[in-house]
Amino acid sequence: MSTRRPRYRYIAFRVDASRPFRREEVLEALRTTTPRLWLVDFAGTLGLARTTHLDKDAAIHALNDIGAIGGETVRVTTVGTSGTIRAATRKYLDRADSARRDTKKNPYK
């Protein structure tokens, strides 16, 4: 049995749909995926999910296979993958969502 903590990967994703979704709706959709994904952050159309480095490819495939959230047809696109929340936020979430994310409110910047 290993005592090492798992090496996490953070996957940034975008939900393309006719309306923005609540965090709870996206969380419910992620509960049905295999492997299980941990929702780190979600606002409107952009989100960040956590998985282990061993499950990264399966997690990306599972995210891209999500077809419905809250009973509505959606298209989930992965934007990128990183080893830290800070890097994932800077690389993939800041450009498209900079108005919502204030550096004073986000401790990962």
User: Rounded to a whole number, what is the distance in angstroms from the first to the last CA of the chain?
Assistant: 35
Question: Within a domain: residue 103?
Answer: no
- 3 state DSSP class of 48: strand
Mean residue pLDDT across the chain: 88
- Output the CA–CA distances (angstroms, integers) from residue 95 to 7, 39, 43, 92, 101, in the order listed: 26, 20, 14, 7, 10
Of 38-42, 79-83, 94-98, which range is least confident?
94-98
| Per-residue pLDDT reduced to its tens digit, 49-74 | 999 999 999 999 999 999 999 899 99
* Residue range of the domain that includes 47: 8-97
Tell whether 40 is covered by a domain. Answer: yes
Report which of residues 44 and 51 the model is more confident about. 51
CB 18 within 8 A of CB 63: no
* pLDDT tens, residue by residue, 16-39: 999 999 999 999 999 999 998 999
Q: What is the CATH number of the domain that holds 90?
A: 3.30.70.3250
pLDDT of residue 101: 47
What's the pLDDT at 102? 52
Q: How many domains does the chain have?
A: 1
Give CA separation, 35 vs 1, 6, 13, 47, 58, in Å: 21, 15, 16, 17, 7
